[in-house]
Amino acid sequence: MAATDLEQIVNLSKRRGFVFLSAEIYGGFRSAYDYGPLGSLLLRNVKNAWIRAMVQERDDVVLIDAAILAPPQIWEASGHLANFTDPLVDCTNCKQRFRLDKLDDPDTCPNCGRHGTFTEARQFNLMFKTQAGPVEEAGTVAYLRPETAQGMFVNFANVLNTSRKKPPFGIAQVGKVFRNEITPQNWIFRTREFEQMEMQFFVPPADSARWFEYWCQERLDWYVRHGIPRDDLRLRRHDADELSHYSAGTSDVEFRFPWGFDELEGIAQRTDYDLKQHAAASGERLDYFDQVTGERYVPYVVEPAAGVTRTMAAFMLAAYDVDEVGGEERTLLRLHPRLAPYQVAVLPLSKKDILTPLAGEVRHTLAGRYMVDYDEVQSIGKRYRRQDEVGTPICVTVDFDSLDDKAVTIRDRDTTDQVRVPIDHLVDEVADRLGF
Ligand code: GAP
């Protein structure tokens, strides 16, 4: 069973320290969120799982980390200054503001219900503008990047010249981006500051359609491999009027959120649009010379672009479950072991000093390999429930017998089954169970 109501996850997140409203002590700041001790680990694991699949396990993709602040020339050439806009309308009755393209009925205000009260639509640019340097003058304007992708395009020649890669090859990046969204909503689903995991895959133009199909399938499979049921995912092709200014065709990976299917990731055919734009604007050559065929061409780009924070929400929603243990209801997150904030929790049966040194040793042995929580507060039953609720796949209990038999009890989150394991074999046993 997955969460059917977003509030189930929002509340669990607050209660257990996944996600907090940003600047909460000042009443919160404009739909911004802070990731707490557990949320920051989960977020990091989502990014690591993506880098693992997209870079580590392949030999045709490299990783970069480009600057967040970027000069206007980049956004002029990329088309974002002119086109990265949303149509904005105001209701003259209730003064609420909406994105016209997200309204079910463009004549009726969803807030006050009045008809015909909207202003003319204005195009609102979503980029955050700032200045680099102490004096506000021409030449100091900079923008916070609204997508990581431009970092890959402007570094295309740098990577090509230094990495020994040739098309088909990809440049990947994970990082913060900023969009001045008109209607941030649904918790961490749409915010003004968020993280993206994007990859530009540069291919010979004639192969672009084939690679597009490949990446659509590959990305869908990634979510399934990490625990989202296939039935809760779908691929949806964009209609022509939905396409971004740079795209000749996009399919979204959508997840069944509590409010319906919605976007997790877009896979776009960006053609040679961006490289040509930057080549023309910068005067630099951004193409590839194939020494075998003697052909020079501007590669086409297939781009899988996912949101980290949105993906984290989807993993939590899909993993949420309530079952019954010993006649009592328990809430758990059935997170994939690679995503769970902690892979293991070490729980001495009692706080008594006599158990502390051995429990500390066990924690130390595991902590070299895994993220480990150590908890000796409250009854063991309550501690198991706490770990279940934050998705820890394995609990290791150190009890008084452990002092004599040098063994501990391993408890499985999903089945609650328990087995006794010699401490000498503990790391291997944990690795077997986690699968890494
Ligand atoms: N480089 C292409 C690009 O940026 P996009 O569809 O605008 O494409 C990619 O963004 C992904 O970033 C989306 O599929 C979504 O997961 C995430 N995303 C976009 N806007 C977001 C927002 N305001 N808050 C959280 N995630 C967002």
Among candidates 72, 75, 81, 64, which has minimal Cα distance to 157? 64
Tell me the C-alpha to C-alpha distance, in Å, between residue 188 and each of 31, 192, 194, 253, 299: 8, 10, 8, 18, 35
- Report whether 319 contacts 334 (CB < 8 A): yes
pLDDT tens string 208-250: 999 999 999 999 999 999 999 999 999 999 999 888 888 889 9
- Report whether 410 contacts 429 (CB < 8 A): yes
Asked whether residue 152 carries a pLDDT value surpassing 90, the answer given is yes
pLDDT given for residue 246 in this prediction? 87
Could you tell me the distance, in angstroms and rounded to a whole number, from the CA of residue 306 to the centre of ligand 1? Answer: 6
Mean pLDDT for 362-371 is 98
Give, for ligand 1, the residue of 19, 177, 194 to mutate: max count of ligand atoms closer than 8 Å to Cβ. Answer: 194
For the Cβ of 147 lying below 6 angstroms from any atom of ligand 1, the answer is: yes
Per-residue DSSP letters for 18-68?
SEEETTGGGT--TT-EEE-HHHHHHHHHHHHHHHIIIIIT-SSEEE----S
DSSP label at residue 12: H
pTM of the model: 0.95
Rg (CA), the chain: 25
For the Cβ of 266 lying below 6 angstroms from any atom of ligand 1, the answer is: yes
Direct distance between the N- and C-terminal alpha carbons of the chain, in angstroms, rounded to an integer: 26
Could you tell me the distance, in angstroms and rounded to a whole number, from the CA of residue 27 to the centre of ligand 1? Answer: 27
Residue of the nearest CA to atom 23 in ligand 1? 190
Phi-psi domain of 227 (left: phi exceeds 0; alpha: psi -120 through 50; beta: other): left
* Band of pLDDT at residue 102, cut at 50, 70 and 90: confident
Asked whether residue 273 carries a pLDDT value surpassing 90, the answer given is yes
Distance CA 301, CA 147 (A): 15
DSSP label at residue 288: E
Give, for ligand 1, the residue of 196, 244, 265, 267 to mutate: max count of ligand atoms closer than 8 Å to Cβ. Answer: 196
If DSSP codes are grouped into helix, strand and coil, which group holds residue 354? coil
- Report whether 339 contacts 38 (CB < 8 A): no
pLDDT tens string 45-87: 999 999 999 999 999 999 999 999 999 999 999 999 999 999 9
pLDDT given for residue 163 in this prediction? 95
Could you tell me the distance, in angstroms and rounded to a whole number, from the CA of residue 226 to the centre of ligand 1? Answer: 20
Torsion of CA 275, 280, 281, 285, to 10 degrees: 70
Sign of the alpha-carbon dihedral angle for 350, 352, 358, 360: positive
pLDDT given for residue 134 in this prediction? 84
- Which are the contacts of 158, defined by CB distance < 8 A and separation ≥ 6? none
pLDDT tens string 192-205: 999 999 999 999 99
Could you tell me the distance, in angstroms and rounded to a whole number, from the CA of residue 307 to the centre of ligand 1? Answer: 5
pLDDT given for residue 401 in this prediction? 97
pLDDT tens string 315-361: 999 999 999 998 999 999 999 999 999 999 999 999 888 999 999 99
For the Cβ of 262 lying below 6 angstroms from any atom of ligand 1, the answer is: no
User: Of ligand 1's atoms, which has the minimum distance to the CA of residue 263?
Assistant: 14
Please work out, in degrees rounded to the nearest 5, the angle formed at the alpha carbon of residue 113 by the alpha carbons of 112 and 117. Answer: 85
Among candidates 134, 400, 415, 188, which has minimal Cα distance to 312? 188
* Beta pairing class for 300-307 and 97-99: unpaired
In the sheet that holds 193-203, the strands lie side by side as 61-63, 169-178, 193-203, 300-307, 260-271, 250-257, 233-237
For the Cβ of 46 lying below 6 angstroms from any atom of ligand 1, the answer is: no
Could you tell me the distance, in angstroms and rounded to a whole number, from the CA of residue 103 to the centre of ligand 1? Answer: 19
Mean pLDDT for 156-163 is 97
Distance CA 436, CA 433 (A): 8
Tell me the C-alpha to C-alpha distance, in Å, between residue 213 and each of 20, 141, 168, 285, 434: 38, 39, 14, 29, 32
For the Cβ of 344 lying below 6 angstroms from any atom of ligand 1, the answer is: no
Tokens standing for residue 305: 């672009």
* Band of pLDDT at residue 174, cut at 50, 70 and 90: very high
pLDDT given for residue 158 in this prediction? 98
For the Cβ of 146 lying below 6 angstroms from any atom of ligand 1, the answer is: no
Tokens standing for residue 275: 């490289």
Residue 316's Cα: distance from chain center in Å?
12
- Report whether 300 contacts 208 (CB < 8 A): yes
Asked whether residue 94 carries a pLDDT value surpassing 80, the answer given is yes
